[in-house]
Amino acid sequence: MKDTQLKILKTMNEATCRIDFTTFSHNLNLTPNETIVEMQQLAQEGFLHKVGAGYSITEKGKNALKITAAVLEEKAFRFFLTVDKPLGFSAHSIEEFYRLIKQVVSDSLGFHVYRGDFENWLRDVVHDEALAGEVEKIRAYDLEGEELRKALLKAVDDRYGVGELL
């Protein structure tokens, strides 16, 4: 998803009342025609829903905002292989977390799952108790390697539909 499209979703989500379309476009630093094109694309992809002459944000659109919301640098999740062996990868959002779960070595995933690191970050930093609980359940299955990776990806995808958004 383009930054412009995220900005449109964020502006719509934060709006407390109807906004004149020209003002809306101006607030996005877009022309009205550029705004229309972006909003039509968002509607085609299911992030917006046409309502009369306007648009409203859908659950899919709200999820896109949730997964891209970045935490402060000091709150980012840092992936390690073992204690004192950082991998050099950090997740600042659910989207980055999902992407990194796909690519880091599975030993790192096991290290973090069985220490409770993922669920703590999800609960305490991202403030997602439900996803933290799902990751906690995964730990009980005693999975390793690619099975662990698949379970983690499925938990995030089931919660946010990330695979559909990326």
The residue extents of the domains of the chain are 3-68, 73-165
In sequence order, what are the beta bridge partners of 57? 48
| pTM reported for the whole predicted model | 0.83
Q: CB of 38 within 8 A of CB of 5?
A: yes
Cα 30–chain centre separation: 25
Q: CATH class for domain 3-68?
A: mainly alpha
What the block records as the tokens of 164 is 């559909």
Helix, strand, coil shares of the chain as percentages rounded to 5?
A: 65, 15, 25
pLDDT digits (tens, 9 = 90+) for 111-122: 999 999 999 999
pLDDT digits (tens, 9 = 90+) for 2-55: 889 999 999 999 888 888 899 999 999 999 999 999 999 999 999 999 988 889
Residue 126 is classified by DSSP as S
